[in-house]
Structure 1
Amino acid sequence: MIHAADLREWRERDVVDAESHKIGVLEAVYVDTTTDEPAMATVRTGLPTRHRLVFVPLDDVIAGPDCLKVRYAKALVKQAPSIGTDDVLPADREEAIFRHYGLPYKPGTAGERQLARR
């Protein structure tokens, strides 16, 4: 298991898909609020003047010598819900990210968010 602190050290490194196609650059790590383990990352994509941050799950992530490899195809990640580079993820958009990847979404017992940026 790769811990959130370890993944944060990979900021500004490339994120690639299972076929080693570059998706973008690691921007931030989001942890599951119930376990404090890495759950999602934002990946900076787009042109230099039109960057956006797309979300990608970190399940089965592999840290290589110069990149992070995720198990999701580049095309799927590029179509994922995104935010602007200076934006924060609104709580009401969190579930859509999980749904995009076919993952179950479980807010906390008191309705709190499942993801927190670390």
Structure 2
Amino acid sequence: MIGAADIREWRGHAVVDEKGRRIGTLESVYVETASDQPSFATVTVGMVGRRRLVFVPLDEAVLGPGYVRVAFAKALVKKAPSIDTDGVLPAEDEPALFAHYGLRYARGAGGERRLARR
């Protein structure tokens, strides 16, 4: 997992899959609410006028000069749950996001949501 030190600087970086194929552009980072560690990125995909943000986990991601390489195939990422470019992930959609990538989902101890945008 990459650290949270400079997540604001990641915005605008290319996001590539494990084989180096470009997926899109990093728009924002969602952190775990319990630890404030980066957990998911939103990636701008689509054509002008039909852009959307898809989510991709940052587990095993590698930060390079001008890019973030994620550990998931481009095809899987493009089929991930998405939001409008000016939207936010509703709390009730978090379980489906985790399920898409085969990740375990559990709310916080107090029932709070798991992800927050940074």
- Whole-angstrom distance in 1 between the partners of 2:46 and 2:4: 25
| Structure 1 residues 38-49: aligned runs within 5 Å | 38-49=38-49
Q: Which runs of 5+ in 1 are unaligned?
A: none
Partners of 1:25 and 1:13 in 2: how far apart?
6
**Structure 1 length as normaliser, TM-score?**
0.96
> Residues 72-105 of structure 1: CA distance to partner in whole angstroms, max 9, x if unpaired?
0000000000000011111100110000000000
Show structure 2 runs of 5+ residues with no match: none
Identify the residue that residue 28 of structure 1 maps to in structure 2: 28
User: In the alignment, is the contact (CA less than 8 A) between 1:4 and 1:29 conserved in 2?
Assistant: no
Aligned partner of residue 96 in structure 2, secondary structure: helix
> Structure 1 segments of 4 or more deviating over 6 A?
none
Corresponding residue SS for 2:42: strand
Identical amino acids, percent of aligned pairs = 59
Q: TM-score when scaled to structure 2?
A: 0.96
